[in-house]
């Protein structure tokens, strides 16, 4: 393992997308460590509920802002997490999604350059597209459709990575790039259309579990606490470590198996309902995390059943709100 970079005692950290699913958990960790955290979010997919418990903390500040516009703050380091990450949300306004990835990266990189700050980009496994290499290593260039319905997100993130490395080559900016694979846990958006949140909500409501295709397609799922630990370790590496580094769980599971596991953990009687598989939906996705293990001494430690149990408890509590429950009942097949 490489040595970690020294961290100032009173370091201030900007987290864009900080009220989102992953961002809010990252805010929790860094605030708990006593660091000054500036959370920026436009609340398109992030929610105030995710960070409300932090608002009275002396070392936490919330700014409502869209990263496609310039931002002027004084911080020591930046985590750039801002971008809708689920197909339902990023396809809602695909032009804005691309702007968030590209213009947002330009604005945050410009800020980091001015401040001489470290900056971490939350990239994605979607840069690999529908991979022909399995599992996916960071050296794999991907198999991405540049004009498909998912391209606004896939290519937006690929362009953001290009910008990060060009700023590193041209300006010697201290960059870190994390390629995040499927992450799940409490605070997932109930309307995000991802399989874990979909299946849990459907199972808790006693509705059919919707599977696209025959369910043989596979994914690997990383619990959010493990992912946040990986991000923090990557951000703390010395300047010569830029990434990209895969962060995810290398244990692969068929979607049908995930569905039956969630039904069992929810003690649900939901049946399986099959739908046509969406366009450009990858058939297999699993990270090679050997680089993260070697450089960060990191690997996920939360078992799927344990992580799902915690996530189910969160959604069960969310559904205790009658307004939320009625909304979800009206939006789930």
For residue 38, what are the β-bridge partners?
Answer: 14, 61
Task: Find the catalytic residue in 79, 90, 128, 153.
Answer: 153
**Residue 12 φ/ψ, nearest 5 degrees:** -105, 135
Cα 195 to Cα 278: distance, rounded to the nearest angstrom: 13
Describe the crossing of helices 21-32 and 224-235 by its angle, rounded to 10 degrees. 60
* Rounded CA separation 136/140 (Å): 7
Quick check: is 223 catalytic? Answer: no
Tell me if residue 168 falls in helix, strand or coil: helix
CA-wise closest residue to 313 among 200, 155, 232, 189: 200
Q: What is the three-class DSSP state of 14?
A: strand
Positive/negative CA dihedral, 127, 77, 105, 110? negative
For the chain, the straight-line distance linking the first and the last C-alpha, in angstroms and rounded, comes to: 48
Using CB atoms within 10 A of its CB, is residue 109 exposed (0-12), middle (13-18) or buried (19+)?
Answer: buried
Instruction: With beta carbons less than 8 A apart as the criterion, state whether 209 and 271 touch.
Output: yes
- Distance between CA atoms of 215 and 260, rounded to whole angstroms? 11
Q: How far apart are CA 104 and CA 81, in angstroms?
A: 10
Element (H, E) at 62: strand 60-64
Catalytic sites, residue numbers: 153
């Amino acid at each position: 393992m490489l040595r970690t970079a020294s961290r100032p005692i009173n370091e201030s950290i900007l987290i864009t997308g900080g009220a989102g699913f992953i961002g809010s958990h990252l805010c929790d960790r860094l605030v708990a460590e006593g660091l000054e955290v500036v959370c920026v979010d436009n609340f398109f997919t992030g929610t105030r509920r995710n960070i409300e418990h932090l608002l009275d903390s002396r070392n936490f500040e919330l700014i409502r802002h869209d990263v496609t516009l310039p931002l002027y703050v004084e911080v020591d380091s930046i985590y750039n997490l801002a971008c809708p990450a689920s197909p339902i949300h990023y396809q809602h306004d695909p032009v804005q999604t691309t702007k968030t990835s590209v213009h947002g990266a330009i604005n945050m990189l410009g800020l980091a350059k001015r401040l001489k700050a470290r900056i971490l980009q939350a990239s994605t496994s979607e840069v690999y597209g529908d991979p022909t290499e399995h599992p996916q290593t960071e050296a794999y260039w991907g198999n991405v459709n540049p004009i498909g319905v998912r391209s606004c997100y896939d290519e937006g993130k690929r362009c953001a990575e290009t910008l990060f490395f060009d700023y590193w080559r041209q300006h010697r900016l201290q960059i870190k790039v994390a390629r995040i694979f499927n992450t799940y846990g409490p605070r997932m958006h109930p309307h995000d259309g991802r399989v874990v949140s979909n299946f849990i909500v459907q199972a808790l409501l006693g509705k059919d579990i919707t599977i696209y295709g025959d369910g043989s397609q596979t994914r690997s799922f990383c619990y959010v606490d493990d992912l946040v630990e990986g991000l923090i370790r990557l951000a703390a590496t010395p300047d010569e470590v830029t990434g990209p580094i895969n962060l995810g769980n290398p244990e692969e599971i068929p979607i049908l198996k995930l569905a039956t596991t969630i039904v069992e953990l929810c003690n649900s009687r939901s049946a399986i309902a099959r739908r046509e598989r969406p366009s450009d939906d990858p058939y297999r996705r699993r990270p090679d995390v050997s680089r993260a293990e070697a450089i960060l001494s990191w690997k996920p430690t939360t078992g799927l059943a344990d992580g799902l149990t915690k996530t189910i408890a969160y959604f069960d509590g969310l559904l205790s709100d009658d307004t939320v429950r009625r909304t979800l009942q009206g939006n789930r097949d």
